Structure 1
Amino acid sequence: MLSLAPNELAALPARPGAYLLLDGRGRILYVGRAGALRSRVRSYWSAGLTRPGLRGMVRRVRRIVVAPAASEHEAAFIERILLERLDPPFNRTQGVEVVVAVRLSSAPPGIATAVELDSPGRHFGPFLGWAPTLAAASALARIFP
């Protein structure tokens, strides 16, 4: 992990990763992820930042901690773990958590989405948002009929 002050943004890596924005007391305000950490984190300090709540949060940031990752998928995984453990005040959920259930033992094997883990099969996820998860599961079902 790398810890920087907001005036040291140029030192951020350009690779994928997760990041935490902390206030002056070390409290975690926000957890995020990016395909390119440097450009994503710098965007919080850009003139184009228009959301009032976000501007208020950014004014409180005194430290940025980044966890570089090997891929965007790994960054998303790190972010999810951090969000579950830390529950930062400026993060908000944007959808329902959905799992993908794969039933290899049925004839024919099946791929389905579910909200509850009691559906049969091996579960993958949870993923955020019903529509994108359903679209991905449908695509998998077409590829692997």
Structure 2
Amino acid sequence: MKPFSRDAGIPVLTEVIDSPPAEGISLMTQADAPAAVPAEEYNVEALEAEMLSHWNDEEWNRLERKIRERILTRILGRIDAVLEQQVRDHLADVLQIAVEGLATDIKSGLHQSLEQVVTSAVSQEITRLQKRNN
């Protein structure tokens, strides 16, 4: 068995994990963390109105165009798959109906052909037997 050889490019566990902090430095606890500002202090409608009041018609048109292009891109990306699946489903139904009709026609044609062949063979045999008896 080959002895274990260490690849210099792969770090060992002690190289990956940071060493614990020095004794003089303490980790911040939840009590030390700054308090989050409650959501009630923000007036969302006022902020939104302030942001939107600075927009001119050109910016609105640009935003509308970007949104329209994004939506159309997403829809066009999905519509191909949806249309293909619908075409497959409908085509499968149409082909199934066509195959059933074709099978019925073939059976009917084979039945008629077989009937004609048997009738012809029987009449030929009767004619042959009658000629033999005469």
Q: TM-score w.r.t. structure 1 length? A: 0.15
User: More relative contact order in 1 or in 2 (CA 8 Å, sep 6+)?
Assistant: 1
Greater fraction of residues in helix: 2
Greater fraction of residues in strand: 1
State the structure with more CA Rg: 2
